[in-house]
Amino acid sequence: MTADPQGPAPPPDPPEAGKARAAPEAASPRETARESAQTFPERWTAMLRRHGTSLHPTKVTALGARTAAMICEGRPASAATTLVGAHFTDPDLLVEAVGLLRRAPSSQTGDPAGAFAAAWAIALRERTLRQQETIRTAADVARREAEQALHASEARFRALFEHAAVGIGVGSVEGEILAANRSLLEMFGARLEDLRGRAVTELVHPEDTPEIWQAYEDLIGGKRESFQCDKPYYRQDGEVVWTHLTVSLIRDEDGTPRYQVAMLEDITDRYRLQERLHHQATHDPLTGLPNRAAFFERLEELFATAAPGAHFGLCYIDLDRFKIVNDSLGHATGDQLLVEVAGRLATALGPLGHTVARLGGDEFVVLLEHCDGEHDAVAAARTVLGALREPILIDGHKLAIGASVGVLERPVGTITPGAAVRAADLTLYRAKEAGGARWTLYDARTNAEAVSRYTVSVRMPMALDRGEFFLEYQPLCALTDGSLAAVEALVRWRHPLLGILQPDEFVPAAEETGLILPLGRWILSQACAQAADWQRRYGRLAPQVNVNITARQARNKGLVADIGRILADTNLEPGLLQLEITESTALGPRDESLRVLNALVDKGITLAVDDFGTGWSNLAYLRDLPLSGLKLSSSFIGEPSGEPVPDSDVAWRIIGGLADLSRSLGLTLTAEGVETRETAERLRALGCDWGQGWYFGRPVTPEQLEELFLANH
Ligand code: C2E
Ligand code: MG
Ligand code: MG
């Protein structure tokens, strides 16, 4: 053993010392000469310095002086013991010390070198024994500490297990429950005895998914390390507790599965809340019936899971006189009525296994998930009507309500859920049209017609927002010289699926649904902006712009304000705007439209009657309305069908008569559908003012119309 190597680095040895250490016995003559000049303590200390590698030089000096003194006092054994005690244990040092002692002045008695060596050996052995003892004690302490630590960690784990807020259960891989903590017992309302020894697989619940138990099998089979799921359990008292479950596998050091540990968090409250929210989201708050969303969800599920060839049935129900009750007796009564109707429907149809849902307002639907044919669906519809036959008594009012039912019965794969509900709804409409209080069975052909009307009108509001409508302009030309007199704005719909739709394909639906009002406003502002633009750029030469308005628009009081605002916004001179109304508008219920039309003319706008001559015209309106023009229907002159009218001669004479009439009333007469030069020529000869038709130009974009206009001038 050498001096402690961890101590401070010793000062570099003098070169002589290095040599002396390398060959302590064979000292060179020079060295011996120098040594002989030194005293023994000096030589002794110098020797220690060469070996006292880690001690501070002053300490080595002191130690050298002390031990040299001991030797000089005849106590070499003490010197040896002291040196070993100070970690001078290098065998080379012993050899050197013995050499030095031998050469020392013989003032000493006995054999100091021998005594020194013997004491050194003893001291060294004792030191070694002491060190071994120290190591053994240290090992003992370490072991005891490790045991304590293990114990503490076990205790900590046990405390954790016992007092954890989550329920923890430990089971064998065979599935036997071995332990359960307090939380788990509380959660299950059970004692440890109730659980210990039972099989994990006994803890099934009807709402468990097959995946849960598959994951469990995989886990105990060592195929997976853990899994998580939400799982319900029966408590000891039979109540259900919902848990978030995490099961992990515990393996041996060699990897063999040994235990399963389940941690369960009680999520019953959260689950119930979730259920309540789901119920709220899927049920109508008023009647408690499944709502529209839930109904569609159910229908979609049925379509996704039904056996091939299975049939389903739908009864779409609308109450006949609900609106009257609501309007006359108030909403509270209306609500009570709906609740009563819902109750009757559920009572009558629920036991048959049919689903009753409320789609909104006074519309209900019955879904027959299993339907053996039309007769089944019709039977359900009869049950509906039967259930609502008896008047409903609310607040002393006896309300005979009645309903119309559209009945649909189809094989599941032949139709989508959305199309099925639409078809049932459209079928219902036929029951309504026929007077209500009846059911009507779905008919494919009638449905197809209605569907096209429906798809068009359903998409229309969106189409307006998405800018799918656009206007084309067709010239109206003076028959005398062919100059451009006016243009007619004609609306088109760029339908994303059906391509470009002509007004005949959607204006009637817009009129029926009322969408003509926003659409008409858009057409008017668009056409007026265009007219104003031309007015700015071409001044006096700018053409008048004709815009068609429907009967519904003409009856709408808002039209006057709308047009006033549009004129103000676009800064268009009112005289450049002409509205075309149909004869039916002119002849229809007069009061409101007459007021509206008069108010418009007061603003400086002009009016023309479109498609003149197609109705059984009672010409009285020519006297009552503030008109500026008549537009002769193209059917009148035989074009555009290309075929001459049966008695064309008579027709031409009538046109001539109308031209005279117009002139005498100061009206501009425009002939529509002019396709050839001959027709144009003949109309001019008869005294018509303007012509419109392919001969003069087809409906085109504003830019194309400008080209025509510029070519004209
Ligand atoms: P209308 O007002 O009598 O418009 C004239 C219709 O005859 C236009 O059909 C036009 O394209 C067509 N036409 C013009 N010249 C000829 C010709 O020489 N030969 C043939 N075969 N046809 C010709 P369009 O654009 O399909 O409009 C049809 C009807 O739809 C219009 O009849 C009008 O009643 C209505 N309509 C068109 N645009 C609008 C609008 O912006 N608002 C309203 N409310 N109705 C509109
Ligand atoms: Mg027109
Ligand atoms: Mg016309």
pLDDT tens per residue across span 297-335: 999 999 988 887 899 999 999 999 898 888 888 999 999
Establish whether residue 638 lines the binding site of ligand 1, counting it when its CB lies within 6 angstroms of any ligand atom. Answer: no
Find the largest Cα–Cα distance for the chain: 173
Q: What is the CATH number of the domain that holds 110?
A: 3.30.450.20
Instruction: Indicate if 571 and 541 belong to the same structural domain.
Output: yes
DSSP for residue 138: H
Instruction: Indicate if 211 and 291 belong to the same structural domain.
Output: no
DSSP for residue 400: -
Residue spans of beta strands (DSSP E) within 117-161? none
Note the pLDDT of residue 589.
57
Instruction: Indicate if 411 and 479 belong to the same structural domain.
Output: no
CA angle 6, 12, 14 (to 5 degrees): 140
pLDDT tens per residue across span 555-578: 898 999 999 999 999 999 999 999
CA angle 534, 537, 540 (to 5 degrees): 80
Establish whether residue 504 lines the binding site of ligand 1, counting it when its CB lies within 6 angstroms of any ligand atom. Answer: yes
546 near 487, Cβ under 8 Å?
A: yes
Residue spans of beta strands (DSSP E) within 267-350? 311-319
pLDDT tens per residue across span 216-226: 999 999 999 99
Count of domains forming the chain = 3
- Please state which of the ranges 516-520, 638-642, 647-651 shows the lowest mean pLDDT: 638-642
pLDDT tens per residue across span 596-605: 999 999 999 9
Residue 395 confidence class, pLDDT cut points 50, 70, 90: confident
Beta bridge partners of residue 231, listed in sequence order: 243
Instruction: Indicate if 367 and 499 belong to the same structural domain.
Output: no
Domain closes at, from 442, 458, 489: 442
Is pTM beyond 0.85? Reply is no
Distance between CA atoms of 264 and 231, rounded to whole angstroms? 9
Instruction: Indicate if 205 and 320 belong to the same structural domain.
Output: no
Q: How far is ligand 2, taken at its centre, from the CA of residue 547, in Å?
A: 7
Domain with 209, as residue range(s), is 1-281
Domain closes at, from 427, 442, 457: 442
Instruction: Indicate if 434 and 564 belong to the same structural domain.
Output: no
Residue 345 lies in a domain: yes
Site to substitute for ligand 1 among 548, 582, 641, most atoms within 8 A of C-beta: 548
Q: How far is ligand 2, taken at its centre, from the CA of residue 449, in Å?
A: 26
Residue 596 lies in a domain: yes
- Average pLDDT of the segment spanning 147-175: 89
Nearest CA to ligand 1 atom 4: 490
Cα 654 versus chain centre, distance: 67
Instruction: Indicate if 29 and 72 belong to the same structural domain.
Output: yes
Q: Are strands 544-548 and 484-495 parallel, antiparallel or unpaired?
A: parallel
How many other CB atoms sit within 10 Å of the CB of residue 4?
Answer: 12
Q: How far is ligand 3, taken at its centre, from the CA of residue 188, in Å?
A: 82
Residue 608 lies in a domain: yes
Which ligand 1 atom sits nearest the alpha carbon of residue 692?
15
Residue 452 lies in a domain: no
pLDDT tens per residue across span 5-64: 443 443 343 344 333 343 344 445 555 555 566 888 999 999 998 887 677 888 889 999
Instruction: Indicate if 212 and 84 belong to the same structural domain.
Output: yes
Nearest CA to ligand 1 atom 34: 548
| Closest listed residue to residue 239, CA positions, set 309, 286, 186, 201 | 186
Q: How far is ligand 1, taken at its centre, from the CA of residue 490, in Å?
A: 6
Instruction: Indicate if 153 and 216 belong to the same structural domain.
Output: yes
Instruction: Indicate if 266 and 288 belong to the same structural domain.
Output: no
Q: What is the CATH number of the domain that holds 482?
A: 3.20.20.450
Q: What is the CATH number of the domain that holds 398?
A: 3.30.70.270
Distance between CA atoms of 662 and 673, rounded to whole angstroms? 19
Nearest CA to ligand 1 atom 45: 548
Instruction: Indicate if 415 and 504 belong to the same structural domain.
Output: no
**DSSP characters for 455-491?**
HHHHHHHHHHHTT-EEEEEEEEEETTT--EEEEEEEE
Residue 454 lies in a domain: no
Residue spans of beta strands (DSSP E) within 566-655? 577-582, 606-612, 629-632
Instruction: Indicate if 434 and 540 belong to the same structural domain.
Output: no
